[in-house]
Chains A and B, each alone.
Chain A
Amino acid sequence: NAGVTQTPKFQVLKTGQSMTLQCAQDMNHEYMSWYRQDPGMGLRLIHYSVGAGITDQGEVPNGYNVSRSTTEDFPLRLLSAAPSQTSVYFCASSYPGQDTQYFGPGTRLTVL
């Protein structure tokens, strides 16, 4: 198993540009989520999904969209990037009924 994979590893955007951060898992996990990590703030939940076709907002959802068309994939979309979205983004997944989450390696995003 590859586990949780994220692409790209690094990305630089200009203000106003759009992009999609990719997240995939091959463990048949129903639950997937996106977090952002900022210095001194730990990780904060952006959006999560409990299964294909079902998504919900987390603590800091503004400026981000998600969809879940398959169990394996959970992309995070930035429609109009802002400097405040400069961060490291982590995707995570878990089995139903288990709260241990497995994290991807992260995507470091810089918005100029």
Chain B
Amino acid sequence: AQSVTQLDSHVSVSEGTPVLLRCNYSSSYSPSLFWYVQHPNKGLQLLLKYTSAATLVKGINGFEAEFKKSETSFHLTKPSAHMSDAAEYFCVVSNDYKLSFGAGTTVTVRA
């Protein structure tokens, strides 16, 4: 069985400050892990993916995530938030093509 817990349902940051979105996972196998972003009334866009290569994964738009097996975590960070980062973010674990989504974290960026 696999599952994902996103530790914050809502994160609010000021423009230009760092963003941290926390994700813990549970998986019986070596997991593939993803972060997806969904802007309001839009579909899902893949930010980045971890598949057992480098533990620090760089994605699009300046985002990166670090896989920590000992902590079963896959936190997403960005050094400097932009207004366009306001969206909902999903941490996802994959096993045999089947995806398990976290409940999502809504990011608000203050000017």
Contacts and interface: CB of A to CB of B under 8 A. Distances in A.
Interface of A: 31, 33, 35, 40-45, 48, 50, 58, 90, 92, 94, 99-101, 103-106
Contacts of B44: 43, 90, 103
B22 interface: no
Q: Is the interface of A mostly helix, strand, loop or mixed?
A: strand
Contacts of B75: none
B101 A42 contact: yes
Contacts of A35: 99, 101
B101 A90 contact: no
Given A103-B43, A105-B43, A48 B102 contact: no
A42 B32 contact: no
6 contacts: A40-B9, A44-B101, A50-B97, A94-B97, A103-B43, A106-B43
A103 B39 CA distance: 14
Interface range on chain B (Cβ under 8 Å from partner): 20 to 34
| B interface secondary structure, majority | strand
B43 A90 contact: yes
A58 B101 contact: no
Contact of B42 (A42, A43, A99, A105): A105
Task: Kindly name the residue among A41, A92, A99 whose own CB sees the greatest number of chain B CB atoms within 10 A.
Answer: A99
B23 to A, nearest CB: 12
A2 to B, nearest CB: 13
A50 B96 CA distance: 10
